[in-house]
A and B are shown apart, each in its own frame.
Chain A
């Protein structure tokens, strides 16, 4: 069964900590994405990557960075976690090319910053 796997389902971190959220896909997808989901705001794109070592800012990149050293892995980094980064984080991946077949999503990581 093809999958996008997020390393943690729930995380609790302290303000100021550096936080790593990991995402791995086994579908050989070119594109990978990080979204955050907040009530009433839907899914907002933080960063995405369309190739290894390539990254592009999404709509809300402030306070985040990403790393994609291998095709299958896309990491989201909170350099200094703050309480307003408490949210559900969703990773997704998709094939490249002009035809968009949509995303496969991971199960999400619910991050609480205290």
Chain B
């Protein structure tokens, strides 16, 4: 069965601190996709990154970086030098490659609060 676990419900940091959001997934498929989405207070989920299971390279985009480790079934997200605008709920999601309709299974979300 597919499952995504984000064990951290809430994280609070002070601006300029680095913060890592954890994501652990379960799947029996060898081909799958992993995603991160950001939900700011306005409510709309915004796509951040997509990774397929054959690409374990870490990714960096500005202050954001992602660490994908198949050995531990984890896809963690780090924000370097956090800013107040990073305050949001962050969701990790999993999709097995051949499921009809391309359904995503989401974790429970981590609410990040960055204080000035």
Contact = CB atoms under 8 A, between A and B. Distances in A.
Interface of A: 31, 33, 35, 40-43, 45, 48-50, 56, 58, 88, 90, 92, 94-96, 98-108, 110
A107 B39 CA distance: 10
B44 A107 contact: yes
A42 B42 CA distance: 16
B108 A41 contact: yes
Interface in B59-116: 91, 93, 95, 97-98, 100-104, 106-109
A102 B50 contact: yes
A92 B102 CA distance: 11
A8 to B, nearest CB: 13
Interface of B is mostly: loop
Nearest to B111: A39
Contacts of A108: 43-44
A39 B93 CA distance: 17
A94 B102 CA distance: 8
Contact of B101 (A40, A48, A101): A48
Contacts, number: 66
Contacts of B35: 102
Interface of B: 6, 9, 33, 35, 37, 42-47, 50, 91, 93, 95, 97-98, 100-104, 106-109
Contacts of A100: 33, 50, 95, 97, 102, 104
A4 B108 CA distance: 23
Nearest to B105: A45
Contacts of B50: 100-102
Contacts of A98: 97-98
A57 B84 CA distance: 39
A48 B103 contact: yes
B109 A102 contact: no
A105 B100 CA distance: 19
A18 B108 CA distance: 29
25 contacts: A31-B101, A40-B9, A42-B6, A42-B108, A42-B109, A48-B101, A49-B101, A50-B101, A50-B102, A56-B100, A92-B45, A95-B102, A96-B101, A96-B102, A100-B102, A102-B35, A102-B47, A102-B50, A102-B95, A105-B37, A105-B44, A105-B46, A106-B44, A108-B44, A110-B43
